[in-house]
């Protein structure tokens, strides 16, 4: 079958690889109808992780059940399903407690497993024609038959729940103000979630006009960090409150400031921009190994953090992989009932052969590339 294979920094290729097989009674094989490219894939693509050549990318997967193992009870051939990017066993302590992004059974020695991602276990990604789904009854969420809402449902794999979770982890309550750093897919989903959840004011910070325009289209106030310090711009708009109630880091360690890599720049800004006793949610990725980092500490994921100001202001912060399974059923139902339509972020839909070109453009954040869906 065809699959998107990582070759070297800034290079992926579409190659023939062997089709996945049932390896365990609880597995299912899914014929992929949509697999999205994620900002998280770009960390590997750019060589900013320890990913080795040969990985098949793709953790945002939706499709049709093609085959089921003998132990699968709730799914049948032909069912339309969407999978969280995390893979859980369903019965370890973390899975039982709802922390399915931190499963301790599927990737021995590490809490957390995912498809097609460095360090997240031996699971092949779904930017391919077929995908093996372990513990399929637990990991596959059923969707209405047919092809309705395909673009919206594809975002249930990761970015819609992750944006929603960033808002949750900030401690957000309806009526509050919130600043979201990053207007990539995750930041836009955080802004959209804050909107759905009743934020009184949403600030969206980035440098890319097209992305800020998207944020504006859903009612956020765009803040272009090329036009001055975003913290000052936000403080200037919060009328003596001393900052926003909540902040979200939807950028992570590849943050840039003044055209340079400054891995802690968003965290620094958030601690300054959030008002005393407010909260920060940080879905943006931070890593323990970054070979391309600007200094020795950053290479080990150790970044300067203003703990003094964080303490003085009595802030809280929540971070980590999103436990997608906590949210995907409910967000699916918001899509079905047409309360939510997250697919406004989708900019491109392509065939798998076009993936190398799409990676290149998405990586450069040019030509309106915001969210790319691959239909293999």
Ligand X SMILES: NC(=O)c1ccc[n+]([C@@H]2O[C@H](COP(=O)([O-])OP(=O)(O)OC[C@H]3O[C@@H](n4cnc5c(N)ncnc54)[C@H](O)[C@@H]3O)[C@@H](O)[C@H]2O)c1
> CA-CA distance, 179 to 164, in Å (whole number)?
14
Q: Report what 63 binds from Zn ion, ligand X, none; CB cut-off 5-8 Å by kind.
A: none
Shortest gap between Cβ of 192 and ligand X (angstroms)? Answer: 12
Query: With respect to Zn ion, which residue has the nearer C-beta, 140 or 199?
Result: 140
Helices within 73-180 (DSSP H only):
93-96, 136-139, 150-154, 159-169
> CA-CA distance, 149 to 29, in Å (whole number)?
22
Beta-bridge mates of residue 141: 82
Q: Report what 95 binds from ligand X, Zn ion, none; CB cut-off 5-8 Å by kind.
A: Zn ion
Q: Report what 92 binds from Zn ion, ligand X, none; CB cut-off 5-8 Å by kind.
A: Zn ion
Q: Which among 75, 71, 100 is positioned nearest to 87, based on CA atoms? A: 100
Cα radius of gyration (the chain):
20
Query: With respect to ligand X, which residue has the nearer C-beta, 102 or 181?
Result: 181
Q: Report what 103 binds from ligand X, Zn ion, none; CB cut-off 5-8 Å by kind.
A: Zn ion
Shortest gap between Cβ of 297 and ligand X (angstroms)? Answer: 19
Query: With respect to ligand X, which residue has the nearer C-beta, 26 or 168?
Result: 168
**Concatenated DSSP letters of 208-247:** -HHHHHHHHHTT-EEEEGGGS-HHHHHHHTSTTSSSEEEE
> CA-CA distance, 363 to 366, in Å (whole number)?
8
Strands (E) in the chain, as ranges, are 2-8, 11-16, 28-37, 60-68, 80-83, 130-133, 141-142, 177-181, 201-206, 221-224, 244-249, 256-257, 260-261, 274-282, 316-319, 348-351, 372-375
Query: With respect to ligand X, which residue has the nearer C-beta, 283 or 376?
Result: 283
User: Binding residues for Zn ion, per CB under 5 A?
Assistant: 38, 40, 88-89, 92, 95, 103, 105, 158
Shortest gap between Cβ of 78 and ligand X (angstroms)? Answer: 30
User: Binding residues for ligand X, per CB under 6 A?
Assistant: 38-40, 42-43, 158, 162, 181-187, 205-208, 211, 225, 250-252, 255-257, 265-266, 283-285, 321-322, 365
Query: With respect to Zn ion, which residue has the nearer C-beta, 185 or 222?
Result: 185
Shortest gap between Cβ of 181 and ligand X (angstroms)? Answer: 4
Query: With respect to ligand X, which residue has the nearer C-beta, 133 or 191?
Result: 191
Task: Look at the block and give the residue holding tokens 């900002």.
Answer: 39
Q: Report what 89 binds from Zn ion, ligand X, none; CB cut-off 5-8 Å by kind.
A: Zn ion
């Amino acid at each position: 079958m065809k699959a998107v294979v990582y070759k070297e920094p800034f290079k992926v290729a579409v190659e023939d690889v062997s089709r996945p097989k049932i390896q365990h009674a609880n597995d299912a094989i899914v014929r992929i109808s949509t697999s999205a490219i994620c900002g998280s894939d770009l960390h590997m693509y750019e060589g900013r992780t320890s990913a080795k050549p040969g990985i098949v990318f793709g953790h945002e997967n939706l499709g049709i059940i093609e085959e089921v193992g003998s132990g699968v009870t709730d799914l049948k051939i032909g069912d339309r399903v969407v999978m969280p990017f995390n893979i859980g066993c369903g019965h370890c302590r973390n899975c039982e407690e709802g922390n399915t992004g931190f499963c301790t059974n599927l990737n021995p020695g590490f809490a957390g497993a995912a498809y097609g991602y460095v360090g997240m276990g031996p699971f092949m990604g779904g930017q391919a024609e077929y995908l093996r789904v372990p513990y399929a009854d637990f990991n596959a969420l059923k969707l209405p038959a047919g092809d309705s809402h395909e673009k919206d449902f594809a975002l249930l794999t990761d970015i819609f729940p992750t944006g929603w979770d960033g808002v949750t982890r900030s401690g957000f309550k309806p009526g509050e103000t919130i600043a979201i750093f990053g207007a990539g897919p995750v930041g836009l989903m955080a802004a959209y979630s804050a909107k759905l959840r009743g934020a009184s004011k949403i600030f969206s910070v980035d440098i890319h006009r097209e992305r800020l325009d998207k944020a504006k289209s859903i009612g956020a106030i765009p803040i272009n960090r090329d036009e001055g310090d975003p913290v000052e711009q936000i403080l200037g708009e919060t009328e003596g409150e001393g900052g926003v109630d909540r902040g979200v880091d939807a950028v992570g360690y590849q943050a840039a400031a003044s055209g340079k890599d400054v891995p802690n720049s968003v965290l620094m800004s958030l601690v300054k921009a959030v008002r005393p006793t407010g909260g920060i949610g940080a879905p943006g990725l931070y890593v323990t190994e970054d070979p391309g980092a600007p200094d020795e500490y950053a290479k080990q994921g150790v970044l300067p953090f203003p703990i003094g100001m964080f303490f003085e202001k009595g802030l809280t912060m929540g971070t980590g992989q999103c436990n997608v399974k906590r949210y995907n059923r409910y967000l699916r139902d918001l899509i079905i009932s047409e309360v939510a339509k997250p697919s406004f972020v989708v900019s491109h839909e392509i065939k798998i052969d076009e993936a190398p070109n799409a990676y290149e453009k998405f990586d450069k954040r040019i030509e309106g590339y915001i969210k790319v869906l691959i239909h293999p």
